[in-house]
Chains A and B, each alone.
Chain A
Amino acid sequence: MTREPMTEHELEATLADVGDRLAYPRPAAMADAVRARLREPRSRRWWDAFVAPRFGLVPALATLVLLVVAIALSSTSIADRFLRLPGIDIFRAPSVSTTPGPSATPRFPGQRVTLEQARAQAPFLRVPTDARLGTPDEVYLDQTQSGTQRVTLVYLSRAGVPVSPNAGVSAIVVALRGRVDEALFGKVAGGGTRIEDVSVNGGRGFWLDGAPHQFFYRDETGNIVTETLRLAGNTLLWEQDGVTFRLEAQVTREDAIRMAASFR
């Protein structure tokens, strides 16, 4: 046997060597096996009833339970799922479930605040000064899963801007600190959605029209935030000084770009 203790370098090299030579299993068809197991009915636990969307709960109780769970787990994706707008939790994938969420979920995520409160708590916020939109009717403030603040401005009904059948409002604006991750973005939008590169306020933006869809932001901490477009309408997305803005409204591309130019 080796008498002298190995030097650090010798030990590390030997470990790497052993690691290369271990008689590891060589799984071949694990994906098929896992897929088959996922198709099997899963033994249900009592608490699954509370998170299974097809389980019919008394609406008032459901609202209470969901809100309590959502608040308790506000930093998790479960809360995020509950807070999505009903019916448009849509992801462009071949076998996606588009089961609507509980009917009592809030229409927009976060806490209802005044515009002044939103400005005070999210100093990065800019709002459109375009006369067609005017002052927002509702303002919501919430946090993404990693704690980045997000502001949603809601414009209920505006002359010349059709009301979206999906959300019952004319336009929304969402602002959060973060950037659009093009690599991810390009992967998830598509299909029924057209994406065009556009110039917004001298910077780069994207114009999306067509089917509703989800996409991702990468927030200021680098985490990926999933977002569902809420109006199923046309959307202008752009980034300005480290803040991502999104304007959803059934207007033309040129109109949207003009509205974006009015953000102050």
Chain B
Amino acid sequence: MEGRPTEDAVLVERSRHGDHDAYAELVTRYQAIAARTAYVITGTAADAEDVAQDAFVKAFYALDRFRAGAPFRPWLLRIVANEAINRRKAAGRRPTVGLSAALDRASGDTALSPEASALAHERRELVLEALRQMKEEDRLVIAYRYFFDLSEIEMADALGVARGTVKSRLSRAIGRLRAVMEGEGRDDA
């Protein structure tokens, strides 16, 4: 057991008893995915950091409602996503978000021929533009699966839906993504 990171459940339990150091460890562990999740919804890095920080504070005070033994990460992500969606609503939701990507980053495409590289670049721009136009909820489902590689079980917990409905939600989101890419109008129009 020596040298292994302390289990989330232990840190959660300590946090529940008021141990801020234990909670700080959980924050360090999950700050990246929390901020990324918030970013997928808000589309701006500064807002996303604020949202993630607020969500961590709220989650701390909500630990009494956390079911002992449940995984912490999806529970936290649910709070982050709610916080991010509320923040967007409060700010007067704009129709699109400003998600941006380092699309021309050199790495990754170096093994491709110039033509293949150009095609990959074009596809990424197409997908990104469609994502910007989609509803937050759809973007979130897609991000959990393809960006953050969450398991179906984690996705269900993070989205607060039954496990059996994750696949259909994802497939509907992908369907709407394709529709936007193929120029069938804005997703939420």
Bound Cα distance from A11 to B171, whole angstroms: 12
Cβ-defined partner of A2 (8 Å) among B46, B69, B126 = B126
Q: Is B53 an interface residue (CB 8 A)?
A: yes
How many interface residues does chain B have, given as a range? 35 or more
Bound Cα distance from A78 to B16, whole angstroms: 11
* B122–A1 touching, CB < 8 Å: yes
Q: Is A52 an interface residue (CB 8 A)?
A: no
CB-CB under 8 A from A91, the residues of chain B are 13-14, 17, 19
* B24–A35 touching, CB < 8 Å: yes
CB-CB under 8 A from B108, the residues of chain A are 17, 20-21
* A5–B182 touching, CB < 8 Å: yes
**Residue on B with the closest CB to A32?**
B24
Q: Is A168 an interface residue (CB 8 A)?
A: no
CB-CB under 8 A from A188, the residues of chain B are 10, 13
Q: Which of A151-159, A222-230, A234-242, A252-260 binds B? A: A222-230
Interface residues of B in 7-62 (CB under 8 A from A): 7, 9-10, 13-14, 16-25, 27-28, 31-32, 34-36, 38-40, 45-46, 48-49, 52-53, 56-57, 60-61
Bound Cα distance from A127 to B120, whole angstroms: 69
* B13–A226 touching, CB < 8 Å: yes
CB-CB under 8 A from A78, the residues of chain B are 64-65
B160-183: CB near A (< 8 Å → 1, else 0) gives 000000000000001001100110
Interface residues of A in 181-229 (CB under 8 A from B): 182-184, 186-188, 214, 216, 218-219, 222-226
Bound Cα distance from A18 to B124, whole angstroms: 6
Say whether chain B's binding surface is mostly helix, strand, loop, or mixed. helix
CB distance from A147 to the nearest CB of B (A): 12
Bound Cα distance from A171 to B50, whole angstroms: 52
* A95–B21 touching, CB < 8 Å: yes
CB-CB under 8 A from A145, the residues of chain B are 67-69
CB-CB under 8 A from A186, the residues of chain B are 1
CB-CB under 8 A from B39, the residues of chain A are 22, 24-25
With A20-B108, A95-B21, A187-B10 known as contacts, the answer to whether A34 contacts B1 (CB < 8 A) is: no
With A19-B148, A30-B52 known as contacts, the answer to whether A97 contacts B103 (CB < 8 A) is: no
* B147–A77 touching, CB < 8 Å: no
* A77–B64 touching, CB < 8 Å: yes
Bound Cα distance from A23 to B69, whole angstroms: 34
With A11-B127, A23-B45, A24-B35 known as contacts, the answer to whether A31 contacts B24 (CB < 8 A) is: yes
CB-CB under 8 A from A32, the residues of chain B are 24
Q: Is B119 an interface residue (CB 8 A)?
A: yes
CB distance from B180 to the nearest CB of A (A): 12
CB-CB under 8 A from B182, the residues of chain A are 5
With A35-B20, A93-B14, A225-B68 known as contacts, the answer to whether A27 contacts B143 (CB < 8 A) is: no
Q: Is A81 an interface residue (CB 8 A)?
A: yes
CB-CB under 8 A from A77, the residues of chain B are 16, 64-68
With A27-B32, A34-B24, A224-B9 known as contacts, the answer to whether A18 contacts B69 (CB < 8 A) is: no
Across chains A and B, which 6 residue pairs bring their CB atoms closest together, nearest first? A19-B147, A223-B69, A224-B69, A25-B45, A15-B146, A31-B24
> Can you give 11 contacting A-B residue pairs, CB < 8 Å?
A11-B127, A18-B101, A21-B102, A23-B100, A24-B32, A25-B39, A34-B53, A76-B65, A77-B66, A96-B14, A186-B1
Question: What would 20 more interface pairs be, CB under 8 Å, given A24-B35, A38-B57?
Answer: A15-B127, A17-B108, A20-B147, A21-B101, A24-B45, A25-B46, A25-B48, A27-B32, A30-B28, A31-B25, A31-B28, A33-B53, A34-B23, A76-B65, A95-B20, A146-B69, A186-B1, A187-B6, A188-B13, A225-B68
Residues of A within 8 A of B (CB): 1-2, 5-6, 10-12, 14-27, 30-35, 37-39, 42, 76-78, 80-81, 91, 93-97, 145-146, 182-184, 186-188, 214, 216, 218-219, 222-226
